[in-house]
Amino acid sequence: MDRLEKKRRKGENEMIRPTNSIKMLSIVAAACVLAACAGGDERPASPSSSFGSVLPSQGGGGTPPATESSAPSSSEQGASTQRPQTASFELLTGEGYQPRTAELQQGKDFSLYVFEGFEFDEASGRLSLKADDEYYVDIERLAEAEDLNALRATAEQEFKEFGGVSDHSGELVEHPLGKAELYLQASGSAGVRDFIVWESEAGERYLFRLCNPKGEEASAFAGPVWVSLSTVRGE
């Protein structure tokens, strides 16, 4: 009887062990599924900025990175330098980030995207607000050898009687321009003036002279104009 009892108990143990193993595998599998579901819902936080975002929104034109895996032919490379006539950008408004379409405009030796409500004069390189042309920015492409110290002296002379001058040169946190070799700003009772030397990703240098008077159109001007300036490219 003792031998029969031992055999019976041994058989029961062998039956129990795989059952426990199956239970353990089920628990591990369930945990993996839950982890995968939790991870799938995570999204990177979008950077916020009072100036808006220069990244083209989905469905828009703009200049997004190439997605083709194969290298383009020489003829395709020539065509790829042409920017689309319209592009969509995310702009920060009172209702949050909203998609806004801009049209490509040609200057003398550069192009940029211009939003509705603005007009661009090719001859002078001036981008201004249609509702009030006292809100404007003059855009000038600089020579590679342009002396930065001479430009700084020019800005200080222009701002001499306007108001207090502050220097924001260098990295621009959460700003569409990203950085500026030279960024002098004068603030006074009449509003704000900016004198900026900016270099594009292609290494081209530009001078931006902004005039943003105090008034009800100030916010309507500032947000879109910074995004437009970040799209300036040489032709």
pLDDT digit string (tens) for the chain, length 235 residues: 555 455 455 555 544 444 443 333 333 333 333 333 333 333 333 222 334 333 333 233 333 322 223 333 333 333 336 899 999 999 887 788 889 999 999 999 999 999 999 999 999 999 999 999 999 999 999 998 899 999 999 999 999 888 889 999 999 988 999 999 999 999 988 899 999 999 999 999 999 999 999 998 998 898 999 999 999 999 8
Domain 106-234 adopts which CATH fold?
Protein Transport Mog1p; Chain A (3.40.1000)
Q: Where would I find the H helices in the chain?
A: 2-40, 74-80, 148-158, 218-229
Q: Residue for token digits 């039956």? A: 15
Domain ranges of the chain: 1-43, 106-234
25-52: b (≥16 Cβ within 10 Å) or e: eeeeeeeeeeeeeeeeeeeeeeeebebb
d(CA 197, CA 167): 12
132 DSSP β-pair partners: 129
The residue among 171, 107, 93, 117 whose CA lies nearest residue 141 is: 107
Count Cβ atoms below 10 Å from residue 121 Cβ, excluding itself: 14
90 DSSP β-pair partners: 99
Strands 86-93 and 96-106: antiparallel
pTM of the prediction?
0.67
